[in-house]
Chains A and B, each alone.
Chain A
Amino acid sequence: MKALGLGLVVGGWMVAVGGLVASDAMMVRLVAALAGLATSLAGITALNSAHIETAVWKTRGH
């Protein structure tokens, strides 16, 4: 789950930069950058969810 999350984070950046080299059209680049950012944020969410699974408050409770 953590590896998947990190993969999404990096993959999002690759989508954004890929848009630069794929097209000269500003709209295409803008959409690629936004899609890349959304993917990276989804990756951070997945990574964090994996961490919460083993969080100290789930095991100890206070």
Chain B
Amino acid sequence: MRNERRSLAVALAVLGLVTIAAPARAADEAAAEAPAVALTTADLKGISTPSADDLAKGDPGGTLTGTAGDIVMADPKAGLTLADVVNQVGQNRIAINFVWTLVAGFLVMFMQAGFALVETGLCRAKNANHTMMMNFMVYGFGLFAYWVMGFAIQQGGSAGISNLGGMNPLNNEFKLSLFGKDWGLFGTKGFFLSGNTYDVGVMVLFLFQMVFMDTATTIVTGAAAERWKFAAFAISTFCLGAITYPLFGNWAWGGGWLSQLGVNFKLGHGYCDFAGSGVVHSVGGLTALAVAMIIGPRIGKYNRDGSPNAIPGHDITMVLLGCFILAFGWFGFNPGSTLGASGNGNLRIGSIAVNTMLAGCTGSFGAILYMWIRFGKPDASMSGNGLLAGLVAITAPSGFVNTVGSAIIGLSAGVLVCLSVEFLERVFKIDDPVGATSVHGTCGLYGVLCVGLFADGTSNYGGSWNGVDGSVRGLFYGDPGQFVAQLIGVCTLVGVIFTLSYVLNWFVDVFVGQRVSADAELEGLDLPEMGALGYPEFQLVTPGTGHSVDVGR
């Protein structure tokens, strides 16, 4: 009896499958048999468009606006031709991608406001003007450096970005030939955006890449806050925007050697970093670590026995508002990194946006849970840092993973950032007032590795990535080579980018001096460095030191 029931169930299942498959097969056969009919210019002649009288009455329903009458004709006397229609389709695709990328870039630019609020809120009131001004001026210093040479070094050899029209003027990459392979090192086209790089597509790419670079530079200001000489900050920011950031940007995104690890060494799809956990956040975070080492901890941060003291920030509302602004801007950061919304599998922007949202939320959840269990209270500033940690970690994998992967990545990054902050403060004795090294450095490197673990092989951005056919697949989905490629990327960030940042900032320390005087630090940097207080009608007292600043007299 049981066997009969089982046979009946199997028969029904087979029947169901056949029923479902039959119409699909029939449709396939019909499509195969039906001859393709080419559209001709003659077909376009019969298309009616709304008359001028109809349009003059207004179009409240939106049914008359945007018809064949709106297609731009090369020769109005000849009427609408097939070439007009096809050209309009092509331009529409590029226009959609231009607008998408520009708007995403504008969102990323607004993240500067978020960083400024987070960092200023986590610092003491006596340094508010100085911290805010560093965040404000990275925009100017960084942009100038990137326009002069950074963009050319990073993207000068990146021709072939079809989403933005091809980027054909950016066609020269300096390469070394070693061990029978080409190792792309830096681009050479686009200095000052001059010559034939005066091109609409190049301008869009410049704007988008520039705001990314600016995000990296603003990470450093947090780690060195409350004791960084403003002149040293200016020079250090220029170096980062002109040399350090663009170099790694080229290796990962500009056709450089890391992106070619798949083509040259059969390591998955080469180093993959969708939106910049490595390029932006790790570069910024590792530079922050180098500067924090050179500049040393704030006076009062450590006791003579090496035990740390907490130095609370002055405005937690500012911090959390800044975190919200950053989370909002991240919707430009990650989905915008498709550099387009139309064609080449770019409709995955929906998935990327959800991954971004999920990882940020699970990141704050992971951090608050850790702090609550460990210290008995849900810590506000670490909840904010957990949100940012999740967002940083998902930045590289956001275009390659599914929602379960993104939730796991965010949650683990939220815990990781708490562990990293404690480790750096207690073991390494690194004084990082805002936790920038942990949020961006540690979680950035973690995000890079997560691509090599969680990429699920479903993305399809035009059928290939970094010149390797197929979609990116991590270790958990069957490609150990991708994990090794990501590891090489992490080694390069730690081994080369950290070293370069350290050496450049060591020179700044030798020739300019990185740190303000002890008197200026105790007084607060607003007056000695900036000449004006952030809060001129307050009396500012530093707890524990007895040092006070009387203002408003």
CB distance from A24 to the nearest CB of B (A): 8
A55 to B, closest residue via Cβ: B296
Q: Are B496 and A13 in contact (CB under 8 A)?
A: yes
List residues of A (18-51) whose CB comes within 8 Å of B's CBs. Answer: 20-21, 24, 26, 29-30, 33-34, 36-37, 40-41, 44-45, 47-48, 51
| B420 on the A face (CB < 8 A) | no
Q: Are A58 and B304 in contact (CB under 8 A)?
A: yes
Q: Mark B510-553, 1 if CB is under 8 A from A, else 0.
A: 00000000100000000000000000000000001100000000
Complex: A52 Cα to B490 Cα, angstroms? 25
Q: Are A44 and B484 in contact (CB under 8 A)?
A: no
List residues of B (446-482) whose CB comes within 8 Å of A's CBs. Answer: 480-481
B428 contact set on A, CB distance < 8 A: 45, 48
Complex: A14 Cα to B266 Cα, angstroms? 19
B309 to A, closest residue via Cβ: A62
Q: Are A13 and B495 in contact (CB under 8 A)?
A: yes
Among B266, B304, B544, the residue within 8 A (CB) of A57 is B304
A55 contact set on B, CB distance < 8 A: 296-297, 302, 429
Q: Are A21 and B494 in contact (CB under 8 A)?
A: no
Complex: A34 Cα to B230 Cα, angstroms? 39
A20 contact set on B, CB distance < 8 A: 261, 265, 267, 488
Among A13, A29, A41, A56, the residue within 8 A (CB) of B484 is A29
| B301 on the A face (CB < 8 A) | yes
The answer to whether residues A34 and B488 also contact, given A13-B494, A13-B495 and a CB cut-off of 8 A, is no
A15 to B, closest residue via Cβ: B491
Q: Are B484 and A33 in contact (CB under 8 A)?
A: yes
Q: Are B484 and A47 in contact (CB under 8 A)?
A: no
A34 contact set on B, CB distance < 8 A: 487
SS class of chain A's interface: helix, strand, loop or mixed?
Answer: helix
List residues of B (238-297) whose CB comes within 8 Å of A's CBs. Answer: 261, 265-267, 289, 293-294, 296-297
Complex: A17 Cα to B296 Cα, angstroms? 32
CB distance from B525 to the nearest CB of A (A): 16
| B387 on the A face (CB < 8 A) | no
Complex: A26 Cα to B306 Cα, angstroms? 44
List residues of B (418-460) whose CB comes within 8 Å of A's CBs. Answer: 428-430
Q: Are A10 and B496 in contact (CB under 8 A)?
A: yes
Complex: A20 Cα to B487 Cα, angstroms? 12
The answer to whether residues A16 and B304 also contact, given A29-B484, A48-B430, A51-B293 and a CB cut-off of 8 A, is no
B298 contact set on A, CB distance < 8 A: 56
| B300 on the A face (CB < 8 A) | yes
Q: Are B296 and A9 in contact (CB under 8 A)?
A: no
CB distance from A25 to the nearest CB of B (A): 11
A47 to B, closest residue via Cβ: B293
Among B302, B491, B502, chain A packs the most CB atoms within 10 A around the CB of B491
CB distance from A50 to the nearest CB of B (A): 9
A44 contact set on B, CB distance < 8 A: 289, 494, 498
Q: Are A40 and B491 in contact (CB under 8 A)?
A: yes
A33 to B, closest residue via Cβ: B487
B495 contact set on A, CB distance < 8 A: 9-14, 16, 36, 40
Complex: A61 Cα to B502 Cα, angstroms? 26
CB distance from A31 to the nearest CB of B (A): 10
| B179 on the A face (CB < 8 A) | yes
A29 contact set on B, CB distance < 8 A: 265, 267, 484
Q: Are B303 and A61 in contact (CB under 8 A)?
A: yes
Q: Are B299 and A9 in contact (CB under 8 A)?
A: no
A9 contact set on B, CB distance < 8 A: 494-495, 498-499
A57 contact set on B, CB distance < 8 A: 297, 299, 301-304, 306
B481 contact set on A, CB distance < 8 A: 26
Among A16, A41, A48, A60, the residue within 8 A (CB) of B488 is A16
- Chain B positions near chain A (C-beta within 8 angstroms): 179, 261, 265-267, 289, 293-294, 296-304, 306, 309, 428-430, 480-481, 483-484, 487-488, 490-492, 494-496, 498-499, 502-503, 518, 544-545
25 A-B pairs with C-beta separation under 8 A: A9-B494, A10-B499, A17-B491, A20-B261, A20-B488, A29-B267, A29-B484, A30-B483, A30-B484, A40-B495, A47-B293, A47-B502, A48-B293, A48-B429, A48-B430, A52-B429, A55-B297, A56-B297, A56-B298, A56-B299, A57-B297, A58-B304, A60-B299, A62-B299, A62-B304
Known pairs A37-B491, A47-B293. 17 more at Cβ < 8 A?
A6-B499, A6-B502, A9-B498, A13-B495, A17-B492, A26-B484, A37-B487, A37-B490, A40-B494, A40-B495, A44-B494, A44-B498, A48-B429, A51-B293, A56-B298, A57-B299, A57-B301
Closest 3 CB pairs of A and B: A13-B495, A57-B302, A16-B491
